Amino acid sequence: MGTLLVVSDIHRAGAAEQARRGFDERSVSNPWLRTFQRLYRRHVWMADPMAHNGKLGDILEQVPGPDRVVANGDFTLDTGFVGISDDAALESAGEVLAMLRGAYGDGVLAVMGDHEIGKKSFMGGAGGVRRASLVRAESELGIPRLWHVDFAGWRWIGVTSTLAGWPVFREETPEDELEWWERAHREHLGEIEERFRGGDSRRIVLFCHDPTALPFLMRLPGVRAALARVAATVIGHLHTPLVLGVGRMLAGMPRVTGAGHTVRRISTALNEARCWKAFRVVLCPSPPGIQLLKDGGYLTAEWPPTREGIEFRRHRLRWR
């Protein structure tokens, strides 16, 4: 019996991103919104997002020899809001993957997060998705858009959530890239459906960074037909079990379109979040968690799992 390690939302800030302190405030021109964002980050989300680079090292020390490792996205802090088309963000993400691969070998399975690809800033209108970021993730970081690995009786599938759920990000896409993203989105969904249809009767563990993509998968006949075989869907993105719990409570809420891109994006995801239950969602927290609760960590599971299914265990990391 071995160990599966899952890490997510490392959000490393390399040297070039460290030089951009105050990046989030500079993206907001409205002084009232800037004040709200400052208070929210200081007391709820993350007072200093650049202060937690050491937590990946803590994980490597605590889990020295797992048999399998999945890194479930968001390796960079993305201070330019355009993903790793920005050289500084690419540097940060590359450092994370180099540390993981150096510790655990080339067999580390990586999934793209939304911050690898880019999205608009929390309060301001800076940034958005970039084709160049997705291409660099593949060509320079070695992260495939889609992968699967088969074991005896099991299939793991890793998807690119921003690509699968791209219509939610359409308004954050440059006009000259719309056609490319439309085509890549359709192709990605078709390839995902093939992975679910294949694999005979194997049980499935799905790795999908952002649960915003899950309703788009739910609409695929091949995925719906295989849902009974999905033992778990490991997500990241939400950072803390608190947000996952709130998301479950608000599942089905109306879509809100007149209160900015962040509210539109979140409410769109929550409008169809009832499908999370069918996918048997399990959250991998970010290593620091959030400022309010200091509840970060990582996941492990025994591999191969028991006949009853796969059971993930959450491990807390000391806040410092």
pLDDT, one tens digit per residue, over 103-135 is 999 889 999 999 999 999 877 778 999 999 999
Range with lowest mean pLDDT among 69-73, 229-233, 268-272, 295-299 = 268-272
For domain 2-307, the CATH architecture is 4-Layer Sandwich (3.60)
Strands (E), the chain: 2-7, 68-71, 109-110, 147-151, 154-159, 203-208, 230-235, 281-283, 297-303, 312-316
Mean of the per-residue pLDDT values of the chain: 94
Q: Residue 116: name the closest of 100, 136, 95 by CA.
A: 136
Which two structure tokens, joined as six digits, stand for 64? 């020295």
Type of residue numbered 67 = D
Q: Are 13 and 77 in contact (CB under 8 A)?
A: yes
CA torsion, ordered 79, 84, 86, 91, to nearest 10 deg: 80
How far apart CA 125 and CA 199 sit, in angstroms, is 43
Name the least confident of 122-131, 219-228, 241-250, 277-286. Answer: 122-131
Model confidence pTM above 0.85:
yes
At what angle are helices 131-139 and 178-197 packed, to 10 degrees? 50
Instruction: Write the DSSP string, 12-53.
Output: B--HHHHTTTTHHHHT---HHHHHHHHHHHHHTS-S-TTS-T
Q: Which of 39-43, 101-105, 263-267 has the lowest mean pLDDT?
A: 263-267
Q: Which of 31-45, 91-105, 221-235 has the lowest mean pLDDT?
A: 31-45
Query: pLDDT digit string (tens) for 44-63?
Result: 999 999 999 999 999 999 99
Determine the Cα–Cα distance for residues 280 and 278; give it in Å rounded to an integer: 5
Q: Domain coordinates of the chain in residue numbers?
A: 2-307
Return d(Cα 314, Cα 297) in angstroms, integer.
7
User: Any idea what DSSP says for residue 196?
Assistant: H
Cβ distance 304 to 151 under 8 Å? yes
- Helix-then-strand count for the chain, H and E: 13, 10
- Pick from 45, 121, 39, 134: nearest CA to 85: 134
Cα–Cα distance measured from residue 172 to residue 166, given in angstroms and rounded to the nearest whole number = 10
Region 96-109 average pLDDT: 96
Nearest in space to 306 (alpha carbons), one of 191, 153, 176: 153
Q: pLDDT value at position 270?
A: 85
Quick one: pLDDT at residue 259?
Answer: 56
Q: Which residue has the tokens 């993400």?
A: 93
Amino acid letter, 122: F
Q: Cβ contacts of residue 179 below 8 Å, gap of 6+?
A: none
Q: Note the pLDDT of residue 126.
A: 86
